A and B are shown apart, each in its own frame.
Chain A
Amino acid sequence: MKKLIIILFCLLFSIHGISQEKKKEEKKDTTKLEEVVIKSRRKLSSYRQEKTLSSIDDYLEKANNVIMIKRGNYAWEPTINNMASDRLVVTIDGMQIFGACTDKMDPITSYVDVSNLEKVIVGSGQEGTENGHCLGGGIDLQLPTSKFNESGLKTSADLGYETNGNFIATGLEIEYAGKEFFISADGIYRKSENYKAGNDLEVLYSQFQKCNISLQSGYKFSEVHIVDVNVIYDRATDVGYPALPMDVSLAEALITSLTHNYKPEDKSLKSLETKLYFNTITHIMDDTKRPVVPIRMDMPGWSDTFGFYSKADILKGKHHFIFNLNGFYNKSLAEMTMFSNNPNEPDMFMYTWPDIRTLYSGLFVKDNWHIGDGKSIASSLRLGYHTNRIAKDVGVESLQIFHPNIDDQQNRFLMSMASSYTIKKEYSNITFGLGYGERAPSVSEGYGFFLFNSFDNYDYIGNPNLKNEKAFEANFSFKQKFNDFEIGVQSSYFHIMDYIIGDIAPNVSSMTIGANGVRVYTALDNASIFDVYLNGSYKISDSFSINGTIGYNNGKGSHREHLPLIRPFSYFTEVSYNKPKFNVALQLDGNGNQSNYSSFYGENKTASYAVLNLNLGNAFYGEKGRAILKYGIENILDAKYSTYADWNNIPRQGRNFYINLSFVMH
C-alpha cells in the first residue's frame, strides 16, 4: 500500500503540462483572517470578528454550528453539529495532522495560529469530506498561497492586551513579494496568567504561553508552475487545564509542506495542486504544578504524519469538477509512567496508544453542476481504504486482556457521498441536501488503553473490532430577503448507525485512582442528532443593523439516553453600527437551561446564562500604511457562568477589557 502511494505520487508529478495561469490575488490584513467560509450557507458575518488577535478558537466559535469544548483557556476542541474531534476531519491546508494527546488536550486547531492562516473552511456534515471521512463535518485551516504581485516589502505588527488574566499577544510579520520569488515570515507570542471568572474568582491552572513561527516561500518557475514551501513551528509551554487533573508542559508541532501548483490557461483543467507533507507533534502532560495528586505520572505522546494530496480543478461546460487523491501514514504513540508513592515499588508503565500506524488512501470527486436558472446540484463521493496496525506486540497483548479475539491489523473500506440541490433567486436561496458517510474509529476509540476521561470520571478502553460508524444526513437551508429584513433557517438531521461511545464494563476496576470504573468503546445501534438555527437580520440604516440567531439541538441514542455535549437552546443578538473607519457592536449571547443533559455520560444540568459584550474598532489610514485598533469589553456584567461545553463546568472568563492594535507598513 505504501508503495502504491509512492507510485501514484510519482505519476502525478510527471503528468504536468505547460500553459499560462490566471492570477488570484489575496490580501491579508495583518493577522486578520480573510474569512471563515462556512459551506452549506453558514456564513459568518465579518463584523463579528471583534479582535484582530483572536485565537483560531475564538474565530471558529463564531460559526453557528461550531462550538468549542473548553478544558481551560487554551486548545479548545471544535465540534460541528454537536460532534467532536473523532467525528470530524480537521486538516491544515488539506494536510492530515493528528493530535498526540490521548485526552484531547491538543486539538489540531491549537497547533496553528491565525497568523499562519488565510481562511478557514468549515463544511457541515458530508460537505466536509474533501480531505477525509467524517460524519459531523470538516474544518480546513487554509494557509496563504504565495503571491507574485511585486508588492515588495511589507511589514506588519500586532499588539494585544487583555486585563483578565493579564493576557498579552504580540505578532510580527515580514513579507516580500517579487515577480518570481515570494517569502513571508511571521511570529506570534501569546501569554496569559490565570484568568478570573465572574465575581473575581481566580481559575487556577488556566495559564498558558505559546509561540508560533512560520516561514513560507514560493518560487515561480514559469507562468504555470509554482512551488511553495511552508514550515510552521508551534510551541506551547506551561499550559494549564483547570478542568483536567493534569497540565501540559510542552505541546510542540512542526508542520512542513512542499506544494506544486500547476495552473494552465485555456484548458478545462484549471489547476492541479500537489502537496507532499510531514508533521510531527510532541505532547507532554505534566502534574508537577498540582500540589495534591493521588499519584505522580508522566504522560508523553507523539504523533507523526506523512502524506500527500493531489487536487485537480476542472471546469467543463456547466460542470465544475474537483478531484482529490490523497494518502497519509500516521504513527501515534503515547505512554504513561506512574511513580508509586511507595519508593520501594517500581514505576508503573503502560502504552496508552500502543504505536498505532494508520495508512489511508482515498479519492474524492465532486461535481458542481450549474443547471441554469439559479439551480445547481452539487454531488460528491469519497472512497477510501483505511488500515490500522498495532506496531507493538505488547499493544496487541494488552488489548487482548479486554478483547481476546483481535489481530494486530484492521482494514476498512470507507465511503462518503453527498448531494445537494440549490435554487438561488434574487431574494431567496433554498438548499436541500442528503448524504451518507462512514468513518473509521479514531486511535483512542480503537486502541486507547485506560484513557481517563475526567468528564464522566471513567477510564476508557479502545475496541479494535468496532464497526465503521455510518450516518445518513439530511439538511435544509432557506434564506429570504424582504427589503431590509432577512430571515434564514438552517437545519441538519443525522441518523447515525453503530454510534461509537463508551459502555460501562461492569466489574472492571479502573486504573485511575478515584475513577468510577471502566468504559469500553462499543457502538449503540443508532443515534440521532438534530439541529436547527433561525437567523434574522434587519438593516435599520446603511450603517446600523441588528441581527439575531436562535438555535435548538437535540441528540439521542437508541438506548433512549441523551447524548453528551449537545447544545441546549441558544440565542445571540447583536446591534452594530459600521462605518468605514469605525464600528461598534453590542452583543448578547446566551443559552437556555440544559434540560436534556446526559447524566449517563457524566453531564449535569448547566444553568442558563447570558453575557453582554461590547466591541469597537477604528481604522486609521496613512501614506505608509494603516493602523487598526480594536477594543472592547467582554462579559460586561461580570457574570459567573459556564456553558454545557465547559469540561467539568469550569467557569468562563469574567469581565475582560481588551485592546488590539495592528500596524501594516508597505
Chain B
Amino acid sequence: MKLKYLLPVVLLALVFSCSTDNEDDTDPLNEVEGLMLVKEIVNGDQTIELFNKKGMFETGYNAISIRIKNNTDDTYFENASITWMPMMQMPTMQHSCPRSAITKALGKNTVYEGFIIYQMTNTDGSGWSLTLNYTIDGMDYSVTETISVMQYENQNTASFMASDDTRYILALIEPKNPSIAVNTMKVGLFKMQNMMTFPVVEDYTITLDPRMPGMGNHSSPNNTDLTFNSTDNFYYGDLSLTMTGYWKLNLKLMNASNEVLKGEDVTEENEASSLYLELEF
C-alpha cells in the first residue's frame, strides 16, 4: 500500500488515541453539554445561566438547568441554594405557575435543576418574569428579569376549571420522543390553590383515550389510565401510538373517589373530550 493512503489512517489513529485522555477532569463547561442557553441574568458579581434542551422557554413543561457564575473569577458556585418565582403579569392581576423546588443535579457540581410549567403566554412571548432568590455562603441575593415564553405548537398543557370549582393545571412531560409503540406517558397535575401556590394533586386518576381526528377518530389499543406515583409526584400510564401523525389524547380527570371532575368519554356522537392534550410526531 502506498504511503499516501496509509498516512491518513495513522494520523486518525493517533488523534483518536489522544483524545480520550482527559476524561476524568470535570470541566465545568461539560456539565451543561447537550443543553442550550436560554438566558443569562447578570446580578452584580454573579451571572445566572438558565439552560434547557431547546434554548427557549415554551408553554408547558420546561425542565431547566441553572448555573451561577462568579463573575470575579469565572468559576461556578457549587454551594448555592436557590428558589424561584415565575410571574405572569396580566392587565388586572398577576399569577404564578406550577414549578418544582430547585435541587443540585445528580452527579454534577455546578448545575442545579428544576422545572416550570407555563400554562399560558402572550402571543408575542411577553408577560412572564422570573425572580431568583439564592444564598451563597450565607449571603442572600435576589434578581428579577423578564423572560419570554413562546407558545408551543400543540396543546401540551391544560389549565381548566373542574366541577369541584377548583382550577387544575395538567402538563404533558413524556413521551418526549414518541414512537410507534407503547410509550410511557408522564404528566404533572397541579391545583391552583391561589394565584401563587400550585401544589401537586395526589391520588387522582386520569383516563386516557388517544385518537387521531384525521383518521376518523382512530384509537389505539392497550392504553392504561394514568395513576399517581408518589416517589416523584407525577402521573404515569401507557400510551399506544399506532402511527406517526397528530394525536389528540382525550382525558378525563377523576378524583380519589372516582368522581369525574372534568372531561367526557369519546363516543360516536362526542368526538373529543373537553380535557385533552395534543401530540405530533
Q: Which 4 A-B pairs have the closest CB atoms?
A: A397-B181, A348-B245, A340-B214, A513-B216
A38 touches B (CB below 8 Å):
no
For chain A residues 508-528, which have a beta carbon within 8 Å of chain B?
A: 508-511, 513-514, 518
Chain B residue nearest in CB terms to A392: B180
Chain A residues positioned under 8 Å from B214 (CB to CB): 295, 338, 340-342, 345, 348
For chain A residues 331-380, which have a beta carbon within 8 Å of chain B?
A: 336, 338, 340-342, 345-351
Q: Which residue of A348, A401, A449, A513 contacts B221 across the interface (Cβ within 8 Å)? A: A401
Chain B residues within CB distance 8 Å of chain A: 179-182, 212-222, 240, 242-246, 280-281
Q: Which residue of B220, B222, B242, B246 contacts A345 across the interface (Cβ within 8 Å)? A: B246
Chain B residue nearest in CB terms to A515: B216
Q: Which residue of A340, A350, A450, A508 contacts B246 across the interface (Cβ within 8 Å)? A: A340
Contact A509 B221 (CB under 8 A): yes
Q: How far is the CA of A100 from the CA of B222 in the complex (A)?
A: 30
A502 to chain B, nearest CB (A): 15
Chain A residue nearest in CB terms to B180: A398
Chain B residues positioned under 8 Å from A341 (CB to CB): 214
Contact A294 B242 (CB under 8 A): no
Contact A401 B220 (CB under 8 A): yes
Contact flag A349-B221 (CB < 8 Å), given A341-B214, A397-B179, A513-B215: no
Q: Which residue of B179, B218, B240, B281 contacts A511 across the interface (Cβ within 8 Å)? A: B218
Please count the residue pairs between chain A and chain B whose beta carbons lie under 8 angstroms apart in the complex. 88
Contact A338 B245 (CB under 8 A): yes
A394 touches B (CB below 8 Å):
yes
Contact flag A346-B280 (CB < 8 Å), given A401-B221, A510-B218: yes
Q: Which residue of A347, A400, A449 contacts B182 across the interface (Cβ within 8 Å)? A: A400
A174 touches B (CB below 8 Å):
no
30 residue pairs A–B, Cβ–Cβ below 8 Å? A294-B216, A336-B243, A338-B245, A340-B214, A342-B214, A345-B213, A345-B245, A346-B245, A348-B215, A348-B243, A350-B180, A350-B243, A350-B244, A351-B180, A394-B179, A398-B181, A400-B181, A401-B180, A401-B221, A401-B242, A402-B222, A404-B182, A404-B222, A450-B242, A505-B221, A508-B221, A509-B218, A509-B221, A510-B218, A518-B221
Contact A509 B220 (CB under 8 A): yes
Contact B221 A295 (CB under 8 A): no
Contact flag A295-B215 (CB < 8 Å), given A400-B182, A402-B221: yes
Chain B residues positioned under 8 Å from A505 (CB to CB): 221
A507 touches B (CB below 8 Å):
yes
Chain A residues within CB distance 8 Å of chain B: 294-295, 336, 338, 340-342, 345-351, 394, 397-398, 400-402, 404, 449-450, 505, 507-511, 513-514, 518
Chain B residue nearest in CB terms to A449: B242
Chain B residues positioned under 8 Å from A346 (CB to CB): 244-246, 280-281
A292 to chain B, nearest CB (A): 15
Contact flag A511-B242 (CB < 8 Å), given A341-B214, A350-B180: yes
A110 to chain B, nearest CB (A): 29
Contact A348 B244 (CB under 8 A): yes
Q: How far is the CA of A397 from the CA of B281 in the complex (A)?
A: 16
Contact flag A401-B216 (CB < 8 Å), given A347-B244, A349-B244: no
Q: How far is the CA of A596 from the CA of B175 in the complex (A)?
A: 50
A525 to chain B, nearest CB (A): 25
Q: How far is the CA of A513 from the CA of B245 in the complex (A)?
A: 15
B148 to chain A, nearest CB (A): 24
Chain B residue nearest in CB terms to A518: B221
Taking A347-B244, A349-B245, A509-B217 as known contacts, 11 extra A-B pairs with beta carbons closer than 8 A to each other, sorted by chain A number, are A294-B216, A338-B215, A347-B245, A350-B180, A350-B242, A398-B180, A401-B221, A401-B222, A450-B243, A511-B242, A513-B215
Chain B residue nearest in CB terms to A344: B246
Q: How far is the CA of A336 from the CA of B242 in the complex (A)?
A: 12
Chain A residues positioned under 8 Å from B246 (CB to CB): 340, 342, 345-346, 348
Chain A residue nearest in CB terms to B245: A348
B181 to chain A, nearest CB (A): 3
Chain A residues positioned under 8 Å from B217 (CB to CB): 509
Chain B residues positioned under 8 Å from A518 (CB to CB): 221
Contact flag A401-B181 (CB < 8 Å), given A348-B214, A509-B221: yes
Contact B245 A397 (CB under 8 A): no
Chain A residues positioned under 8 Å from B179 (CB to CB): 394, 397
Chain B residue nearest in CB terms to A342: B214
Contact B216 A514 (CB under 8 A): yes
Chain B residue nearest in CB terms to A338: B215
Q: How far is the CA of A312 from the CA of B214 in the complex (A)?
A: 58
Chain B residues positioned under 8 Å from A511 (CB to CB): 215, 218, 242-243
Contact B245 A340 (CB under 8 A): yes
Contact flag A509-B244 (CB < 8 Å), given A340-B214, A401-B181, A401-B182: no
Chain B residues positioned under 8 Å from A348 (CB to CB): 212, 214-215, 243-246
Chain B residues positioned under 8 Å from A295 (CB to CB): 214-215
A449 to chain B, nearest CB (A): 8
Chain B residues positioned under 8 Å from A397 (CB to CB): 179-182
Q: How far is the CA of A394 from the CA of B280 in the complex (A)?
A: 17
Chain A residues positioned under 8 Å from B242 (CB to CB): 350, 398, 401, 449-450, 511
